[in-house]
Chains A and B, each alone.
Chain A
Amino acid sequence: MKQIALYGKGGIGKSTTSANLSAALSEKNLSIMQIGCDPKHDSTRMLMGGRWIPTVLDTIRDNGEEINADEIVFAGYNNIRCVEAGGPEPGVGCAGRGIIATFQLLEKLDALYGDVIVYDVLGDVVCGGFAMPMREGYAREVYLVTSGDFMALYAANNISKAIARLSNRTRNFCSLGGVICNSQNIEGELELVSEFAQKINSQLIGFIPRSQIVRVAEVNKKTVLEYAPESEQAGIYRTIADRIMHNSPDVAKKPTPLTMDELEELAQKHIKA
């Protein structure tokens, strides 16, 4: 079982990338599970044909802990098993604790299985709860989704710090799998993100060019793989899915996050007027 997590700045395209990668992986005759770990609960929508599935936390709230796996795990495109953790309304409660509770329940229901589990995690690792997928042996490989935008790189660098910190634990299962560039059509973006990946002791796993077909598929409530399986963009997701399947990062290889000065210097080198 391969367990991967996608982390990155809010709005960078983690959910779109996760859903398309899950869809691409499902074509390989693999059993795929995607877990949205964000109170916004919009991770699996494209896989569910636009349906907002009930979240784990809402279900616990309504029914107590006496629930069955089929009340929280839903079969989507190509039988991808979709879960949304959910969470409180914005501005109340503690969403981080919600993620922990979700994992405990999925664990209790023996629902965490499949050839690949994809964890799609909220933008910033703001507290211990959102680091949960990286801990306790859930996600073994973290993929940082970023663009050449400076703040996106800054967020990715911060997440690599969280992984580096976890690497120091005696029982650590989590490693940095690589960097995925979700392009924003910035000049010098490929070079910038490649060099960033290398500098944090990792590698660029894929470069997803900006494409109108992604937006079109989205408004049609489908992944690109489902909406336009023959498109070039679908091929790109398939290639990245392949690379992830063949990637087996070394747990002992720790990320080397950049200092703020180093990050600024790197951005200045590639982004010019």
Chain B
Amino acid sequence: MNSKNSHKNISRLEGCTVIGALTVTSFVTDAATIVHGPAGCAHQSASMIQSAMLYNECFNIPEIFTSDMSEEEIIFGGEERLKETIRETVAGGRYRAVFVIGTCISDTIGDDIEIVCKNASAEYNIPIIPIDASGFLGGSFEKGFISAIRGITELIPPRSTEAEAQVTPAKPEPKTVNIIAEKNLEYEVDSNFAEIKRLLSLLGAEINTRIARRTTVAEIARFKNAALNIIRDDPTGAISAHIKSVSDIPVIGAFPTGLSGTVEFLKDAGRLMNLDEAVIDAAVSSELKNQEEMLKRFADLKGKKVSFDLFGFQKSDSAFLDEIAERAGLKIDIDGPAIMIPFYTPIGTAGVKQMLVQWRRFINGRR
């Protein structure tokens, strides 16, 4: 019947599709998002996002609306109510685009959100983009997130259109990069971005647009100016596959982790942007030096014992931890203090440095 074939209790940890979608769309600063469902769907999602944002010291209130479906809309269909909500939302002229996120109930009764959006786009002459997010069909936070990434790329003018010719140069800017699918609720989202920006600056490259982190609709439309796309994280490959389908810009599928991983990232980024080998070599040696300087600050850890507590779910891709321990002169030993591994792996050299600060606390705390 649907793709949901697991009824394990862990399902409750997989989150709601609507929230996953909102973490993307509500970071387009001049767009509004309408959650087409009962008011509670929007309230629940918006309040979770807002509290996570406050924790991350973002104080802006996301532009989230609800079509406030009631029993009448359930019985007679909610398309009229949605049309009305779109009309009210675009009325002030405040938004350059509107996202419409479907919910479990609007999908159960079969509201055709796609056609409502298409007609409204034509009527109001701004992009109105439907996003599929009915969780009961086997959705999760992740699925809503990916749906929204797909939706947001509709703001990029399609290939070989007049709109594309207007905003996209014949050739991309050689040293510019798009950052895609940042996890907006992740505590480290800004520091991770700063690290990527620093690494790219070693290659002389700059950021073109971020999809989406306080990004405007016009910035998203300039997506194709870039020479390289870098995705935050894409374990299933779904985001890379989609991004490759909208443009020919080469893609790096994840932010770098670990010391050698960071150096490899610099090489990959440089080659994919067709930079001179000399430029890449200079960036690599600069970063290797930076890593050595960083490690010197942890000289006090040399010879100490550590062990890793992987919680059993970090699988085998922890080789970078062994590398960090080795480079810092630590000994991996079952008797050493158990270091808890962060849920999100640290990004770049700055991430390694931050992690070593935490390790030091564990190691010294044991004394």
Which residues on A are within 8 Å of B, measured CB to CB? 57, 60-61, 87-89, 91-95, 97-98, 101
In the complex, are the beta carbons of A97 and B74 less than 8 A apart? yes
B261 within 8 A of A: no
What count of chain B residues pass the 8 Å CB interface test? 13
A39 to chain B: closest residue by CB: B75
In the complex, are the beta carbons of B72 and A60 less than 8 A apart? yes
A93 to chain B: closest residue by CB: B77
Most buried by B among A61, A87, A93: A93
Most buried by A among B74, B78, B79: B74
Chain B 110-145, CB-CB to A under 8 Å as 1, else 0, gives 110000000000000000000000000000000000
Tally A-B pairs: CB < 8 A. 37
Give A56 Cβ to nearest chain B Cβ, in Å: 11
In the complex, are the beta carbons of B74 and A94 less than 8 A apart? yes
In the complex, are the beta carbons of B109 and A93 less than 8 A apart? yes
In the complex, 16 of the A-B residue pairs with CB atoms within 8 angstroms, ordered by the A residue number, are: A60-B72, A61-B72, A87-B75, A88-B76, A88-B77, A91-B110, A92-B76, A92-B111, A93-B73, A94-B74, A94-B75, A94-B108, A94-B109, A97-B74, A98-B75, A101-B71
Contacts of A95 in B (CB 8 A): 75
Contacts of B78 in A (CB 8 A): 93
Instruction: Tell me whether A61 and B71 are in contact in the complex, defined as CB-CB below 8 angstroms, given that A92-B110, A93-B109, A94-B108 are known contacts.
Output: no
Most buried by A among B72, B78, B79, B111: B72
Contacts of A93 in B (CB 8 A): 73-78, 109
Interface of B, secondary structure class, is helix
Give A101 Cβ to nearest chain B Cβ, in Å: 6
B72 to chain A: closest residue by CB: A61
Most buried by A among B71, B73, B74, B75: B75
**Complex CA distance for A97 and B78, rounded to whole angstroms:** 13
**Complex CA distance for A92 and B110, rounded to whole angstroms:** 7
**Complex CA distance for A93 and B79, rounded to whole angstroms:** 9
Contacts of B73 in A (CB 8 A): 93
Query: Using a CB-CB cutoff of 8 Å, which residues 66-89 of chain B contact chain A?
Result: 71-79
Most buried by B among A60, A89, A97: A97
**Complex CA distance for A89 and B111, rounded to whole angstroms:** 13
Contacts of B108 in A (CB 8 A): 94
Contacts of A97 in B (CB 8 A): 71, 74-75
In the complex, are the beta carbons of A92 and B74 less than 8 A apart? no
The 9 closest A-B pairs by CB, nearest first: A92-B77, A93-B77, A98-B75, A94-B109, A88-B76, A93-B76, A97-B74, A97-B75, A93-B75
**Complex CA distance for A93 and B81, rounded to whole angstroms:** 12
**Complex CA distance for A48 and B108, rounded to whole angstroms:** 35
Chain B 265-293, CB-CB to A under 8 Å as 1, else 0, gives 00000000000000000000000000000
**Complex CA distance for A57 and B76, rounded to whole angstroms:** 9
Contacts of B71 in A (CB 8 A): 97, 101
Most buried by A among B72, B76, B108: B76
**Complex CA distance for A87 and B77, rounded to whole angstroms:** 10
B78 to chain A: closest residue by CB: A93
Contacts of B74 in A (CB 8 A): 93-94, 97
Contacts of B79 in A (CB 8 A): 92
Contacts of A98 in B (CB 8 A): 75-76
